[in-house]
Amino acid sequence: MILVLSTLYDSSTRKLIYWLEANGVAYRRLNGEDFDESLNALTIGYEDGIDQLNIIVDGEELPLNEIKLILDRRTHSFTQIKDQVYPEQSSLKGWQSSVLYSFLTGEFFGLSDYVSAKLKGRWLDQPQHTSLNKLSGLDAARAVGLKVPATIVTNKRHRLQSFVERYGTVITKPVAEVFGVEINQDMYMLYTPILTLEDLTTVPESFFPSLFQQCIEKTYEIRSFYLAGEFYSMAIFSQLDDSTQAD
């Protein structure tokens, strides 16, 4: 049996499930949001010299001993937690809601990491590798001989200015994952902006440590998916869209 870990509304997981069903593959899907529902239960513990790990979804216990392969696709959308922490009528101040949200999501990730370590079976992808660190990715690419753009992380404008003067056009992006901010029911997402010397006039002398890279003009973009010792690559002509020319 394959255990698919995901979130409730992930469209890519649905496509994977269609493929598994078409090929008659036994599977169970476990969403992070499943534990928000009253019919579902999670019990972890140690009593009377016995380890306990029981997961009940839709009133049925997950047969953990039948799992042979585990796919870690997503973790949790935290929608219900957001609704509970940031209700329209709340006695909490904004920063208090943020602290509570950070605590609850941190607790979930702590439990998720522990459950992942306890699950028996072959992991198709390791949970600790699902969150991208771009600096580690660049190190890995260089280690196998791939070319990577010049990159710095700095918190000083004069160092950034020297970098821009050398390479002409520079981009900036997060070291870890991108995220969105919801303001007045509108979602604002991080993107990859281009920086020039003119832009540096608005940058303070000291700022939060940020990643900057030499901008490489692309003819097309190649996305490679690695699975079980094989690479599956595709070309994406994202340079044809002004909004995705720099990424």
pLDDT above 90 (res 161)? yes
> Rounded to an integer, what is the distance from CA 174 to the centroid of its chain?
12
Average model confidence (pLDDT) across the chain: 82
The yes-or-no verdict on residue 89 having pLDDT over 80 is no
Q: Is the pLDDT of residue 124 over 60?
A: yes
Mean pLDDT of 27-45: 78
Of residues 175 and 56, more confidence is placed in 175
